[in-house]
Amino acid sequence: MNNIAEQLQLAYHNLTQKCLQLSANIDTVQLLAVSKTKPVSAIEAAYQAGQRHFGENYPQELATKATELSGYADICWHFIGPLQSNKTRLVAEHAHWVHSIERLKIAQRLNEQRPATLKKLKVLLQINISDEASKAGIAPADMLQLAEAVNQLPQLELKGLMAIPAPGQSETAFAAMQQLSLQLQQRYAQATELSMGMSDDWPLALRYGATMIRLGTAIFGARD
């Protein structure tokens, strides 16, 4: 077995153990392998080991990799990075999910540019949960307003929330995200996804109801 296959196997083992410990249903938790900056060969190795969901941060890199790997028709691409207006088309044409919706204008462009031949683009609203001036995401107080507008875009499907807590504040942030998610689901019953937790803090995220954990380093090793 190659190293990526071993790391994946270990990650799924740890995830299963953690779910058992928390009495959480593992079928409702998706592990995303975050492959940003890693070569296509690394994604292929993970694919051969059974992985299907991949996360990418840069629109051009996502488009290039998705095109190169288009023979693997069941790969599910998640765009998880910051998105500027001039790059929305690349994401609309190649992603299955976008975790980083923080402006209506970006959502509208994705809606217009989503090819009619593809399924609806599944989207999550990114919340700036630690209230960091420099960080992406909307304020919690603006969540319902953005959700209402995004929910009306026919080519998008509002599926939930995403957050990247400030270092050292994961637990407070995850607890707050769980409450926000419940609030969102009261209005939008289908918006059940909660994307939070990375290589360092995913067990804690799981404890607060994460349904998508995003692991880069734990699967592919350190990035340059």
Ligand X SMILES: *Cc1c(COP(=O)(O)O)cnc(C)c1O
* CB 37, min distance to ligand X, A: 9
Q: Which neighbouring-strand residues pair with 125?
A: 101, 161
By the rule CB under 6 A, 36 interacts with ligand X: yes
Nearer to ligand X, 49 or 205 (CB): 205
Q: Which residue is nearest to ligand X (CB)?
A: 216
Candidates 80, 125, 161, 191: give the one binding ligand X (CB under 6 A). 80
Contacts of 140 (CB under 8 A, 6+ apart): 127, 129, 176, 180
Q: Where are the alpha helices (DSSP H) in the chain?
A: 3-22, 40-48, 59-68, 88-94, 104-113, 143-151, 170-187, 202-207, 217-220
160 binds ligand X (CB under 6 A): no
Choices 1-9, 112-120, 132-140, 215-223; region in contact with ligand X by CB under 6 A: 215-223
Q: Exposed, middle or buried: residue 117 (CB in 10 Å: 0-12, 13-18, 19+)?
A: exposed
Residues 88, 219: Cα–Cα separation, whole Å: 28
Closest distance between ligand X and the C-beta of residue 220, in Å? 8
198 belongs to the binding site for ligand X (CB under 6 A) = yes
Q: Which is nearer to ligand X, 34 or 106 (CB)?
A: 34
Closest of 109, 64, 61, 66 to residue 84, by C-alpha: 109
Residue 57 as a binder of ligand X (CB under 6 A): the answer is yes
Q: Please tell me whether residue 215 binds ligand X under the rule CB under 6 A.
A: yes
Please report, as ranges, the residues that interact with ligand X according to CB under 6 A.
34, 36, 57, 80-81, 164, 198-200, 214-218
